[in-house]
Amino acid sequence: MSAVVFQRIALLAKSDPESDQQLAATVQTLYRFLLQHDLQVACEPVAAALLPDVAAAPMDVLVAQSDLAIVVGGDGTLLRSAHQFVHAGVPLLGVNLGRLGFLVDISPDEMLTVLAAILRGAYQQEERFLLSCTVGDRPPQLALNDVVLHKWHIARMLEFKLWLDDTLLDTQRSDGLIVATPTGSTAYALSGGGPLLAPGLDAMALVPICPHTLGNRPLVVNGDSTIAMAICGRTDPAHVRVTCDGRVSLCLAADERIQVTRYAVPVRLLHPADYDHYTILRTKLGWGEQPVR
C-alpha cells in the first residue's frame, strides 16, 4: 500500500440551517475518520461549530497550511472555497449535500470508502480555469462558473455592445449575457439554453438571456479570448448588475466597460479514481431514462 499523500486537511462546510442535522452528522463522521488516520485537521468556522470542543482556524491559516481541502456541501460551497484556495494551489474535494452536485461528486454514503482510497493516492486530478472580470478600473473579481451581465429591478430589456478581442461582435438587446467557463456550462448557462462544454476545453460560452432576436444564439469562443461589454442606447446603468458566480454583484457607472478574460491560475479538483464526467451528466440530467407509463 502506498503512503498517504495528504497530511494536513482543511475541513469546510456549507452554512444551511435546513440541513443542519445531516450536515452535522456528515462533518462529525468525516472529522473522526480523518483523526483515526493520524491526519492533521483544521476547520473553518462553520465546520468547527458542528464539532464539540474544536476551535476554528482562520481562513488564511487554512489556505497556507493545508495539503487538501474537503468541502461538505453543494456546488455553491465548493465555488466559494475555490475562490479562497486557488492561489495556494490546494486541491479541493467535494462531499455532496447539495442538490445536483456537478462539482461535489462524492455522496455521504460512500464518503469514507472513497476518501480512504484517495488518501492512498487513488484519485483523479484535474484543473479548471476561472474567469477574471474587471468593471472599469476596479479590482478584478474571479468566477469559476460564470460572469453574468443582467438587468436589475426592471422588466425591460438591456441594450449593450459586445466585443470579442477588440472586434465589435454585436449590439444586443436581451435580458443580459452569461459568459461561462466549461465548468459553468452546467450551471446558469445550461438553463439559458447554452451548450455543455467538456471540462478540459479551452473555451468559453457566450449565452444570451432571453434575446430579442432569434438570430442571437449561444456562441463558443477560444478560452484566451477577451470579452468586453458596455451598456448603450436607452439602458440606464443603474438598472444593470454584473454578477460573478452568483456571489459578487457589481454596479455599473456610466461609460464603464466590463472585461472578461481567462484567469492565469487554475483551481485543482480531486475526484474518485472511477470518476467520469459523462456519467455525472447522464446521472444528474436523467439521460436515457424511460418515461413512466
Phi-psi region of 136 (alpha: psi -120 to 50; beta: other; left: phi over 0): left
Q: At what angle do helices 20-36 and 111-119 cross, to 10 degrees?
A: 30
Closest residue by Cα to residue 148 from 166, 133, 168, 159? 133
Distance CA 133, CA 222 (A): 16
Q: Report the distance separating Cα 26 and Cα 107, nearest Å.
A: 10
Question: DSSP string covering 146-167, please?
Answer: EEEEEE-S-SSPEEEEEEETTE
Annotated catalytic sites, by residue?
75
Q: Let me know: does 123 contact 270? Beta carbons within 8 Å.
A: yes
Q: What is the dihedral of CA 257, 261, 266, 269, to 10 degrees?
A: 80
SS3 293: coil
**What are 289's three cell numbers?**
431514462
